Amino acid sequence: MATKNQNLSSYDKATIPNAKDFRFGIVVSEWNSNITDNLFKGAFDTLIEHGVQKDNILHWSVPGSYELIYGSKKMQYKVDCVIAIGSVIQGDTKHFDFVCEAVSQGIKDLNVLHDTPVIFCVLTDNTMQQAIDRSGGTHGNKGVEAAVAAIKMATLRKNS
């Protein structure tokens, strides 16, 4: 696992631009909500910590990770950057492979086709324990990392 020797919540706060002038969207999958709720909290709290006003954070829920693509597409027109939050955990069928591939390609397509960045915060884990570890557990919170990426990408968009 790529995060085995890292803490997803660790970063140099002094290097992050103030985000008070930006509007962010967070689209959250309801599937595996015990995981996605923690990822949302990590992202939300990090955005607030870096100056974003609560009223400038738009939060939508979608049924599952597959629906993150459509939710993110619709949200792109309302914000400076979108964070797509989901959790897909390996099961006994190929469903995991199809969902992971579709979501990663769909979010990539949104970034290629549109001007508003979409940050990929979808955990694709083999076990529930891995997801727990990456959503506030021993490896930190991927939501924090996604919010930092969102601030940097909103800044890049504004300055380019």
- 82 in a domain, yes or no? yes
Stretch 81-102: mean pLDDT, rounded? 92
State the pLDDT at residue 4: 59
On whether residue 9 sits in a domain, the answer given is no
Output DSSP code: residue 18.
P
pLDDT exceeds 70 at position 99? yes
Pairing of strands 135-137, 140-141: antiparallel
pLDDT tens digits along 105-125: 999 999 999 999 999 999 999
What pLDDT shows up at residue 1? 42
CA dihedral 57, 59, 81, 105 (to 10 degrees): 170
Q: Identify the band that residue 133 occupies on the pLDDT scale cut at 50, 70 and 90.
A: very high
Q: What is the pTM of this model?
A: 0.94
CATH code, domain with 58: 3.40.50.960
| C-alpha span between 36 and 49 (Å, rounded) | 20
> Does 41 reside within a domain?
yes
pLDDT at position 13 is: 86
Token duo for residue 49: 């910590």
**Any idea which residues carry the catalytic annotation?**
95
- What is the count of structural domains for the chain? 1
The residue type found at 108 is: K
Domain annotation covers residue 14: no
Q: Is the pLDDT of residue 5 over 70?
A: no
* Interval 23-82: pLDDT, tens: 999 999 999 999 999 999 999 999 999 999 999 999 999 999 999 999 999 999 999 999
Quick one: pLDDT at residue 158? 93
Domain residue limits at 87: 21-148
Q: How confident is the model at residue 3 (pLDDT cuts 50, 70, 90)?
A: low
